[in-house]
């Protein structure tokens, strides 16, 4: 849940960009997305904070802040082609491999698993990074942040479809909040453009 604060933080940080104004409807839509994420992650139960996991909480908050800051600050590098993201992905993969070798027990993937990893990296994961880079450089960054809240919903749907989570009525409430929040956010931006 702490990591899923990044869409809200993108909207907050985008408000500091020159020429970006966040309207009341967009704030409301973003907060509705956050409420949906809370429902999905907690299942409607009270959030419990365990001091034993403080390092994990801090890591999750740090990840949210860094991803939001990167996404918003990426606008300053709009002249760099989005294809350059491949270099960053390779560098992160190498750092991940070094960390893995240094801190984790290594288990060699099977040839089929290597093929799946390669296909995911070239396909959906690579495409997602390329599209995100393009969106943060040339798109409406505040709207992009507002519309990012379906990530926890998609995670939940995948868990339900794979049999690792049970369907629950709160998921329908979260879906309604997400769709309503997305509609308000896009309506806010459409209304702002119409006023110009």
Largest CA-CA distance found in the chain, in angstroms, rounded = 58
Residue with the bigger pLDDT between 162 and 190: it is 162
Residue linked to tokens 């390669």: 118
Q: Rounded to whole angstroms, how far apart are CA atoms 167 and 153?
A: 12
DSSP 86-131: HHHHHHHHHHHHHHHHHHS---PPPHHHHHHHHHHIIIIIHHHHHH
| pLDDT per residue as tens digits for the range 94-146 | 999 999 999 999 888 999 999 998 898 888 888 888 899 999 998 888 888 87
pLDDT digits (tens, 9 = 90+) for 59-77: 999 999 999 999 999 988 8
DSSP conformational letter for 163: T
Whole-angstrom distance, CA of residue 25 vs CA of residue 33: 12
Residue among 192, 189, 174 nearest 11 (CA): 189
**Mean pLDDT, to the nearest integer, of 150-157?**
78
């Amino acid at each position: 849940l702490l990591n899923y604060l990044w869409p809200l933080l993108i909207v907050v940080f985008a408000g500091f960009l020159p020429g970006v104004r966040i309207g009341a409807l967009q704030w409301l839509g973003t907060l509705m997305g956050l409420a949906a994420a809370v429902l999905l992650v907690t299942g409607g139960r009270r959030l419990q904070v365990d001091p034993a996991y403080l390092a994990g909480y801090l890591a999750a908050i740090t990840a949210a802040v860094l991803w939001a800051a990167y996404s918003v600050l990426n606008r300053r590098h709009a002249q760099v082609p989005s294809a350059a993201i491949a270099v960053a992905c390779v560098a992160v993969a190498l750092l991940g491999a070094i960390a893995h070798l240094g801190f984790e027990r290594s288990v060699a993937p099977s040839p089929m698993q290597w093929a799946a990893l390669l296909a995911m990296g070239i396909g959906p994961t690579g495409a997602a990074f390329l599209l995100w880079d393009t969106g943060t450089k040339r798109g409406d960054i505040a709207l992009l942040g507002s519309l990012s809240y379906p990530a926890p919903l998609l995670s939940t749907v995948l868990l339900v479809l794979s049999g690792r989570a049970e369907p629950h009525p709160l998921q329908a409430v979260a879906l309604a909040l997400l769709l309503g929040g997305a509609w308000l956010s896009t309506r806010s931006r459409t209304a702002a453009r119409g006023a110009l």
